[in-house]
């Protein structure tokens, strides 16, 4: 398997450290948290881990080398629509080179969102799908049968 085919989770150093008895990333002990932050500082998956935590709004723990309080601020600013360009390097995302969705709508700040799985989605396509769904659910108009007044 080539490194490009690996998930960021496969490359994360925390996989080699965390056990059922020891998890510094979800500990209340300041020493454990310092150990987790030190491990994150040298982890090759730090950027992808942080991007995942923000996209999925992870409420607890240390993700991507950021303590919980800072992570919550980043999630709040992301939810407020502020750009995340500083957090995700373009080279880390396999679809970063795409400028338009499969229906031709542009991927720009106003037309792009990320779903819970972290996939980049088009707002215009979402609106169109919603309108199609609403039209299918609309009850049929009732007409009196012909010849009946």
Residue pair 43/3 in contact by the 8 Å Cβ criterion: no
Query: Could you tell me which residues come within 8 angstroms of residue 113 by beta carbon, excluding any fewer than 6 positions away?
Result: 120, 121, 123, 126
Query: Could you tell me which residues come within 8 angstroms of residue 116 by beta carbon, excluding any fewer than 6 positions away?
Result: 55, 56
What pLDDT was estimated at residue 143?
66
**Tens-digit pLDDT profile for residues 9-35:** 888 888 888 888 888 988 889 999 999
Residue 21 has which token pair?
A: 């008895």
CB atoms within 10 A of CB 88: 19
Q: State whether residue 59 is helix, strand or coil.
A: coil
DSSP of 3-19:
GGGS-HHHH-GGGGT--
**Tens-digit pLDDT profile for residues 60-99:** 889 999 988 888 888 888 777 655 554 444 445 556 667 8
Q: How far is CA 22 from CA 33, 57, 87, 149, in A?
A: 12, 23, 28, 79
The pTM of the full predicted model, rounded to 2 decimals, is 0.51
d(CA 75, CA 56): 9
């Amino acid at each position: 398997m080539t490194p490009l085919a690996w998930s960021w989770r496969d490359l994360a150093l925390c996989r080699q450290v965390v056990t059922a008895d020891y998890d510094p990333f979800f500990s209340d002990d300041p020493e454990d948290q310092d150990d987790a932050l030190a491990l994150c500082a040298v982890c090759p998956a730090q950027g992808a881990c942080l991007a995942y935590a923000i996209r999925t709004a992870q409420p607890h723990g240390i993700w991507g080398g950021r303590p919980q309080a800072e992570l919550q601020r980043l999630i709040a600013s992301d939810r407020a629509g502020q750009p995340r360009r500083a957090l995700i390097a373009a080279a880390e995302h396999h679809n970063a080179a795409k400028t338009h969705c499969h229906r031709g709508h542009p991927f720009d700040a106003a037309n792009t969102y990320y779903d819970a799985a972290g996939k980049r989605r088009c707002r215009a396509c979402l609106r169109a799908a919603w309108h199609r769904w609403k039209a299918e659910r609309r009850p049929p108009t009732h007409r009196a049968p012909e010849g009946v007044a």
